[in-house]
Amino acid sequence: MNTAIINLRLYPPTNAMIMKTIERLHDTLQNILEEHETISLAESEKNLLISGESLTQKNRQKPQVAIFLMLMINWGMKSISFNKGLEKNELSFFLEMLGKKPDGAIKEKGLEQIISEGNMTHIQINRKIYAEVDQDHQIVASLEIKDADIIKYMTNEDPDVPLDQEKLKEMAKDQGLVSRIFQSGVQHLASRDGTQSNKKLSESMLYMLQALDKITDHEEKEGLSFVAAKSISDMDADFIAMVMSQNMEGLLENHLFGQIIDGIDREKFEDVAFKLYQSFDLSGKEGEDHDSGNTESVRQAYQRLMNTGKGVELKHQIEKKQAREKEERENKIREIKEKINDIFNRFEKSSPDEGDVKVLPELFDALCSEGETTSAEAVIERLTAMLGGDRPDIRAAASESLSGIFDNLSLERRTEALTLYKDRLINWMKSETIATGAFRKICAWLKDLAKERIRIQRFEDSLPILDTFSHIASNQFEKNDQVQSVASEMLREIGSPDILEILIEEFRTDKQNQRKEAGKILVVTAECSINTLLDLLMESEVSSERVLILNLIPEMGNAAAPEIIARIKENAPWHYLRNLARLLGRTGSEEHAKAALAPLLLYGDLRVQKEAFRSINSIGGASRGEVFLSALSGCNDQLKVSIVTVLGSLKQRDAVKALLELFKSKTSLPEEMKVELQEKICIALGNIGNRDALPFLKEVSTQSGIFGFKSYNPKVKAAAGRAAGMLSNN
């Protein structure tokens, strides 16, 4: 009962040790109650009566009796009765109640009410009143020293308590009394603070033992050591290990350590040994900040423990176990390797079996769990080599097994493997034509690897992966739609906002001297990066930065055209429209010239018109003549010279009428430019070769300025004459 009550102050009722103790106590009481209806424990004049009978003098001096008597007095109990039919849950509740501090509970309800509310029908309190005992009862009343003061002194709770050392030494001559004092101290430590760690409790225990050692005579120390060892050995393994790791050199004639070991069974001894070994082993790994003195103390305690008879026996058991485990491990590893080799041999000799494909990752994990990392890495080496083979079934099996292996690897180990075998995996991606589950997974892992490399500013390392995805997505390797779709999805995920931010920053600033590499990645991820670049093109106030973008976007090819067209709007700034027109001229197609660029030939700013003209001339193809002819009358007069020249070079036959009208029309051009326009019109008419223009050209070439008409500029007349000659010879 004492052990259960003390431990319940330290651990919850569900603790395995607590439950085992209560079960033993319940069995003991049940055996007694089979012969007797009731067993009662009563306090009378400092004595414990059991079922009305007083204990012998020898038994009254036992520390267990003194502890229980003090417990009854502290709770104000005169008697406790256990009746036949006692249930284990009643006993557990009762002991748990006694493990608490009594003052508050008694004050609020009273002991009998607490028992009643706990539904403990087979337990009765104060059924019969025995002889009264003075409320100031003290363990050492005859010496006029209060037990509370002694306990506070011994446990270092109040080391300055004024105590008469001579009286303490007088008290120490009574071994039974000292034992009861010690047991009361143990009970006090347990009840003082239920949240205290085993380390703090063990330190308080050591202090108490040192205090008792000082006041105890030589011939009494062995007996006191036995009592202390018994109390300590009843504690759990953690607490015992903590006590043993304290410096007990010379304490109680050095009997305590051995007596504690004698008092614990083999199972608890093994637990204590493990706790001590674990403590100094972990302490040694924690670095310089750890208390080296404490580590050495724990190490010495462990060595001393293992040098005992029980320790030597345990070492022999451990050695046998280790030898057995080593043999079993070696046999297991050999068996795993044989199975792996058998699978690879079957792969080479026949079509791969689905069962082999699935079991290979399990065997890989088994190697890793046995610490065979080199052998495990060799499995990945062989599988990645198989990806480059000629047989599609072997490649499919290898990729499926690799997928299963990579699935179970930590992120760090998977990244290492992907980095090491990146080239093999990329070459395999180029050759695969089916978007299997393994293909999707490996692509996703390579995508994550590329993103990780970009984040750490290693752009060049990510490019092989990105280029492969790009080539697959654009069908340069003649893949099916599903494979292309996977590659496109990977590119979109790589081009996430956080990645684009890193790339754009380096492209703009070149801080890491990787502008070229950053630009390549932006081109490969065009679907995601184009809008960001177009935004920057409009917002940037730095001309060199805009030039960088204007040179980069064309590398994206047709992929950039849709977004460029979407931004060509009348309300856009003229300089932005001019840049958009320039970009479309380098990325667009003939249909874009007619649909998107043609309206810009009529835009209100000549600079935009000129850029649109150049771009249409670059990508307009066969539709250029139609587009330019339709814009001839509405575009800026300065642009008309360029359009006329192109219409002539294109031999746009239906442009003759429009050219004649333009020749005769009034313009706002200066005389010099007007002459140039008329000259270009004549040349264009000659190049077109439509004889309908011949009369007009002859008239211009021969006009002399008589009859009040002004003669044309000699350059114009000369050009008209040459053109007329060309038409005459057709």
Residue 326 has pLDDT above 60, yes or no: yes
Q: With beta carbons less than 8 A apart as the criterion, state whether 724 and 699 touch.
A: no
Last residue of a domain, one of 631, 660, 681: 631
Of the two residues 37 and 635, the one the predictor is more confident about is 635
Residue 586 has pLDDT above 90, yes or no: yes
User: Which of 641, 635, 634, 724 lies closest to 688, judged by CA?
Assistant: 724
What pLDDT digit, counting tens, does each position of 430-439 carry? Answer: 988 889 999 9
Q: Is residue 570 part of a domain?
A: yes
Alpha-carbon distances of 692 from 171, 661, 695, 699, rounded to whole Å: 143, 13, 7, 13
Tell me the C-alpha distance between 486 and 476, whole Å: 15
For residue 38, the surrounding DSSP H or E stretch is strand 38-44
Q: Which two tokens stand for residue 291?
A: 């208390």
Q: Is the domain of 670 the same as that of 729?
A: yes
The pLDDT value given to residue 137:
42
Q: Is residue 605 part of a domain?
A: yes
Q: With beta carbons less than 8 A apart as the criterion, state whether 683 and 724 touch.
A: no
The pLDDT value given to residue 62:
78
Q: Is residue 283 part of a domain?
A: yes
Label residue 217 by pLDDT band (50, 70, 90): confident
Site of tokens 């030597």: 312
Q: Indicate if the alpha-carbon torsion angle 202, 203, 208, 214 is positive or negative.
A: positive
For residue 124, the surrounding DSSP H or E stretch is strand 123-125
Residue 164 has pLDDT above 70, yes or no: no
Tell me the C-alpha distance between 428 and 431, whole Å: 5
For residue 44, the surrounding DSSP H or E stretch is strand 38-44
Q: Is the domain of 179 the same as that of 223?
A: yes
Q: How many domains does the chain have?
A: 4
> Assign residue 702 a region: left if phi > 0, alpha if psi is -120 to 50, beta otherwise?
alpha
Q: Is the domain of 599 the same as that of 683?
A: no
Angle at 297 between CA 292 and CA 301, to 5 degrees: 145
Angle at 196 between CA 192 and CA 10, to 5 degrees: 75
Last residue of a domain, one of 59, 94, 125: 125
Tell me the C-alpha distance between 436 and 455, whole Å: 29
The pLDDT value given to residue 171:
66
| Residues in contact with 382: Cβ distance below 8 Å, sequence separation at least 6, in sequence order | 344
Q: Is the domain of 230 the same as that of 105?
A: no
What pLDDT digit, counting tens, does each position of 75-92 carry? Answer: 778 888 888 888 888 888
The pLDDT value given to residue 556:
95
Tell me the C-alpha distance between 599 and 568, whole Å: 10
The pLDDT value given to residue 172:
64
Q: Is residue 113 part of a domain?
A: yes
pLDDT cut 90: percent of the chain above it: 49
What pLDDT digit, counting tens, does each position of 228-272 carry? Answer: 888 788 888 888 888 888 777 777 778 888 888 888 998 989 998
Task: Read off φ and ψ for residue 43, nearest 5 degrees.
Answer: -105, 130
Residue 510 has pLDDT above 90, yes or no: yes
| Residues in contact with 300: Cβ distance below 8 Å, sequence separation at least 6, in sequence order | none
Q: Is residue 435 part of a domain?
A: no
User: Which of 324, 329, 409 lies closest to 372, judged by CA?
Assistant: 329
Label residue 130 by pLDDT band (50, 70, 90): very low
* Mean pLDDT, range 132-140, rounded to an integer: 42
Q: Is the domain of 621 the same as that of 651?
A: no
Label residue 175 by pLDDT band (50, 70, 90): low
- Please tell me what DSSP assigns to residue 125: E
What pLDDT digit, counting tens, does each position of 373-425 carry? Answer: 999 999 999 999 999 988 999 999 999 999 999 999 999 999 999 999 999 99
Tell me the C-alpha distance between 575 and 581, whole Å: 10
Q: Is residue 313 part of a domain?
A: no
Task: Read off φ and ψ for residue 252, nearest 5 degrees.
Answer: 50, 50
Tell me the C-alpha distance between 170 and 148, whole Å: 17
- Please tell me what DSSP assigns to residue 434: S
Q: Is the domain of 652 the same as that of 707?
A: yes
Residue 194 has pLDDT above 60, yes or no: no
Residue-by-residue DSSP string for 342-368: HHHHHHHHSPPPHHHHHHHHHHHHHHH
Q: With beta carbons less than 8 A apart as the criterion, state whether 712 and 720 touch.
A: yes
Task: Read off φ and ψ for residue 193, nearest 5 degrees.
Answer: -155, 105
| Residues in contact with 529: Cβ distance below 8 Å, sequence separation at least 6, in sequence order | 495, 500, 503, 504, 522, 523
Q: Is the domain of 115 the same as that of 158?
A: no
The pLDDT value given to residue 208:
78
Domain span at residue 546 reads 525-631
- Please tell me what DSSP assigns to residue 143: G
Alpha-carbon distances of 195 from 71, 199, 493, rounded to whole Å: 21, 11, 52
Alpha-carbon distances of 41 from 65, 231, 550, 698, rounded to whole Å: 11, 22, 100, 145
The pLDDT value given to residue 189:
67
The pLDDT value given to residue 157:
66
Q: Is the domain of 117 the same as that of 9?
A: yes
Q: Is the domain of 627 the same as that of 704?
A: no
Q: Which two tokens stand for residue 434?
A: 């089916």
Label residue 353 by pLDDT band (50, 70, 90): confident
* Mean pLDDT, range 146-164, rounded to an integer: 66
What pLDDT digit, counting tens, does each position of 54-81 carry? Answer: 787 677 777 778 788 877 877 778 888 8
Angle at which helix 497-509 crosses helix 543-552, to 10 degrees, equals 120
The pLDDT value given to residue 142:
44
The pLDDT value given to residue 229:
83
Site of tokens 């085993």: 198
Q: Is residue 395 part of a domain?
A: no
Q: With beta carbons less than 8 A apart as the criterion, state whether 59 and 179 touch.
A: no
Hey, is 13 helix, strand or coil? coil
Q: Is residue 165 part of a domain?
A: yes
Q: Is the domain of 180 the same as that of 120?
A: no
Q: Is the domain of 82 the same as that of 152?
A: no
Expressed in angstroms, the distance from the first to the final Cα of the chain is: 130
* Mean pLDDT, range 509-517, rounded to an integer: 95
pLDDT cut 70: percent of the chain above it: 84
Residue 123's DSSP bridge partners are 82
Average pLDDT, the chain: 85
Last residue of a domain, one of 277, 307, 337: 307
Amino acid residing at 709: F
Q: What share of the chain is helix, strand, coil (3-state, %, to 5)?
A: 75, 5, 25
> Exposure string (b/e) for 231-251, b if CB count within 10 Å is 16 or more?
bbbbbbbbbbbbbbbbebeeb
Tell me the C-alpha distance between 326 and 314, whole Å: 18
Residue-by-residue DSSP string for 67-120: HHHHHHHHHT-SEEEEETT--HHHHHHHHHHHTS-HHHHHHHT-HHHHHHHTT-
Residue 138 has pLDDT above 60, yes or no: no
Tell me the C-alpha distance between 332 and 566, whole Å: 66
Q: Is the domain of 300 the same as that of 154?
A: yes
